């Protein structure tokens, strides 16, 4: 059953408060100022403030429009600070719309522009934005790296408010990785700073985050206590999005306790707020929660209305993950109605879009591995060639040295008395030449070692890609409680892989040994994994013999 990700909603609040620094004039006042503004930097600043105000109100289309106008005007004036703020606003809006690729692109543009002028606040904010995108893509390590870079700059500039929110973001990463103690350390750090500053918004965010950790620890009493503290602060400060997110968090706790009436009541309060402020994405997610709650209460017609509303909004926004979950929710609804034909139909739609998303990701991973493999081959060839050249040079230098020594010795024997000083000088020159050649050899040796390091790094990256496609051990453990996985590649990457899928009442498991080992074997394992996904999950072929025949055909076709 789909649940709203409360960490994600808390993250939205962190983001908003990180970039909306102080209360600005109301939107209508700013519009009046804009009409009389000259084509200068003040107009750029006004456009950027309007973009932030519309973002805070949940009107992302208008926010994006004003952000792009600000960027265009700032570029004409070569106003780098205005460009940085505009790129940041555009990136945040694309993030809200689920377009992570464009969001990351504008985050990097903002970072580059800020670094050009040494705009430290802009640099810190850009690292924070980039970290958020990586977090939502599931790349927690890159997200953490960017947050730590942001935190370092914030500490240098003694920006306490920024430090508090950045610490909260770092806490979210640790919470997502299951390291609840480190998450709590960072959340309490953020809470302490916000209390010192009297920052009610920040205090509320910290209470929400701490409450989520206590949920993970099954301490519902402490969790509710913290969420109600957050709710009170949000209501006092008039923060509607914060209030809405608190109702969702409280509803989720009642869900965990099986109190579905209270759960529904809190979700409906949250939905009402999101509808008033026009935050479509939040309306879609919360409608899904409301629908699921109605299913639990046996009110299936009410459930259909809200689940269908969630599907319509997700389609309007082009939000594929939302569409996928809506199909899954509707399948559950029709199953509760005993309408198994419709339940199967929606589950089929859910499986198709899930496989489409999986195949898109898998194709991208294969392309990345192919690029790394080609790069690795070229590096190896270059290192081999450099080694041969170095060997030839060393041999030539050795022969030359021996020849010169013989000539010098012969001349010394013939005219030892007359040319003794001259011979001494020649010997000095020879030694100097030898020293230079030795330095050259040492430099080339160092170059070869650097190339080897790059190759190893490349293969290690390929290993990370390969591990990413392997089935979740938690899922396998859930289906086979007494099982374990023993997976030890011969090299850094493996020519072996395992694969798992759950289809209806069938659990399908495969262990495969591919031709070759190392990078070629790993490349074949990617192909095998992708073909098994297509055969079982897309074509619904479940008999082992037929699966193997289809796999054989697929390999023959792919490799011509």
**What average pLDDT does the segment 524-530 reach?**
89
d(CA 147, CA 165): 10
Q: What percent of the chain has pLDDT over 90?
A: 24
CA gap 346, 154 in Å, rounded: 48
Q: Which of 31-40, 53-62, 109-118 has the lowest average pLDDT? A: 31-40
* C-alpha pair distances (Å), 496 with each of 477, 502, 523, 527, 551: 20, 21, 10, 12, 16
Average the pLDDT over 493-498 and give the result. Answer: 88
Give 6's pLDDT tier (boundaries 50, 70, 90): very low
Query: When comparing pLDDT for 33 and 488, which is higher?
Result: 488
Weakest-pLDDT range from 198-207, 251-260, 412-421: 412-421
Q: How many helices (H) and strands (E) in the chain? A: 22, 2
**The dihedral sign for the CA sequence 317, 322, 328, 333:** negative
**What's the CA gap between 197 and 164, in Å, rounded?**
10
Q: Which of 217-226, 394-403, 456-465 is predicted least confidently?
A: 394-403
Q: Residue 372: pLDDT band by 50, 70, 90 thresholds?
A: very low
**217-238: average pLDDT:** 87
For 408-456, how does the pLDDT look when each residue is reduced to its tens digit (9 = 90+)? 877 888 888 777 777 678 788 878 888 888 888 888 888 888 888 888 8
Residue 114 has pLDDT above 90, yes or no: yes
The listed range with the strongest mean pLDDT (150-159, 369-378, 382-391, 411-420) is 150-159
pLDDT over 80 at 273, yes or no:
yes
Predicted local confidence at residue 34, as pLDDT: 64
Q: Can you name the residues that pair with 511 across neighbouring β-strands?
A: 498
* Model pLDDT, residue 384: 61
Global pTM reads 0.52
Phi and psi, residue 498, nearest 5°: -125, 155
Q: Is the pLDDT of residue 393 over 80?
A: no
> How many other C-beta atoms can be found within 10 angstroms of the C-beta atom of residue 300?
15
> How many C-beta atoms lie closer than 10 Å to residue 466's C-beta?
23
Q: pLDDT class for 35, splitting at 50, 70, 90?
A: low
Residue 10: per-residue pLDDT: 40
Which is more confident, 122 or 389? 122
Q: Looking at residue 390, what is its pLDDT?
A: 63
What is the pLDDT, as a whole number, of residue 189? 92
For 285-319, write each residue's pLDDT tens digit.
899 999 899 988 899 899 899 988 888 988 887 77
Q: What would the pLDDT profile of 497-510 be if each residue is shown by its tens digit?
A: 999 998 888 999 99
Q: CB count, 10 Å around CB of 37?
A: 17
Alpha carbons 289 and 366: distance in angstroms, whole number: 36
Residue 378 class from Cβ within 10 Å (0-12 exposed, 13-18 middle, 19+ buried)? exposed
157 closest CA partner among 187, 193, 121 = 121
Whole-angstrom distance, CA of residue 358 vs CA of residue 531 = 12
CA 376 to chain centre: 25
Q: Per residue in 329-357, pLDDT tens? A: 888 888 888 888 888 888 888 888 887 76
3-state helix, strand, coil split of the chain in percent (to 5) is 80, 5, 15
């Amino acid at each position: 059953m789909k649940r709203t990700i409360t960490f994600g909603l808390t993250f939205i609040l962190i983001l908003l408060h990180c970039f909306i620094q102080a209360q600005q004039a109301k939107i209508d006042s700013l519009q009046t100022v804009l009409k009389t503004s000259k084509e200068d930097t003040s107009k750029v600043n006004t456009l950027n403030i309007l973009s932030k105000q519309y973002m805070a109100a949940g009107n992302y289309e208008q926010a994006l429009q004003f952000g792009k106008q600000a960027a265009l005007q700032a570029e004409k004036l070569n106003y780098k600070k205005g460009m940085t703020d505009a790129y940041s606003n555009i990136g945040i809006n694309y993030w809200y719309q689920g377009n992570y690729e464009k969001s990351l692109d504008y985050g990097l543009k903002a970072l580059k522009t800020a670094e050009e002028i040494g705009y430290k606040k802009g640099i810190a904010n850009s690292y924070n934005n980039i970290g958020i995108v990586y977090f939502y893509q599931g790349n927690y390590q890159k997200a953490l790296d960017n947050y730590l870079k942001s935190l370092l700059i914030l500490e240098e500039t003694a920006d306490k408010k920024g430090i508090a929110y950045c610490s909260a973001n770092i806490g979210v990463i640790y919470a997502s990785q299951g390291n609840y103690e480190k998450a709590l350390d960072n959340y309490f750090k953020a809470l302490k700073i916000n209390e010192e500053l009297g920052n009610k918004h920040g205090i509320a965010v910290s209470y929400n985050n701490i409450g989520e950790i206590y949920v993970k620890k099954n301490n519902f009493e402490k969790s509710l206590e913290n969420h109600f503290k957050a709710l009170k602060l949000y209501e006092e400060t008039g923060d509607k999005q914060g209030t809405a997110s608190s109702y969702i968090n409280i509803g989720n706790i009642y869900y965990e306790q099986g109190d579905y009436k209270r759960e529904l009541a809190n979700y409906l309060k949250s939905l009402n707020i999101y509808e008033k402020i026009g935050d479509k994405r939040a309306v879609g997610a919360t409608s899904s929660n409301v629908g699921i709650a109605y299913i639990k209460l046996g009110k299936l017609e009410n459930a259909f209305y809200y689940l269908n509303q969630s599907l319509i909004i997700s389609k309007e926004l082009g939000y594929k993950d939302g569409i996928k979950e809506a199909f899954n929710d509707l399948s559950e609804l029709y199953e509760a109605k005993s309408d198994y034909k419709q339940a199967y139909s929606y589950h089929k739609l859910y499986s198709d879009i899930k496989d489409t998303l999986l195949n898109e990701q898998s194709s991208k991973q294969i392309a990345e591995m192919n690029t790394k493999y080609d790069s690795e081959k070229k590096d190896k060839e270059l290192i081999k060639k450099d080694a041969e050249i170095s060997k030839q040079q060393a041999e030539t230098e050795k022969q030359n040295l021996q020849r010169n020594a013989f000539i010098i010795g012969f001349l010394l024997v013939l005219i030892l008395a007359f040319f003794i000083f001259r011979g001494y000088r020649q010997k000095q020159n020879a030694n100097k030449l030898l020293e230079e050649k030795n330095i050259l050899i040492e430099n080339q040796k160092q170059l070869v070692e650097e190339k080897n390091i790059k190759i190893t790094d490349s293969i290690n990256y390929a290993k990370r890609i390969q591990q990413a496609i392997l089935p979740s051990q938690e899922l396998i453990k859930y289906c086979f409680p007494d099982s374990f996985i023993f997976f030890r590649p011969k090299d850094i990457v493996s020519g072996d892989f395992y694969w798992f899928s759950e289809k209806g009442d069938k659990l399908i498991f495969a262990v495969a040994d591919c031709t070759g080992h190392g990078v070629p074997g790993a490349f074949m394992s990617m192909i095998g994994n992708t073909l098994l996904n297509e055969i079982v999950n897309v074509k619904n072929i479940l008999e082992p013999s037929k699966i193997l025949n289809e796999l054989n055909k697929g390999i023959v076709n792919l490799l011509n």
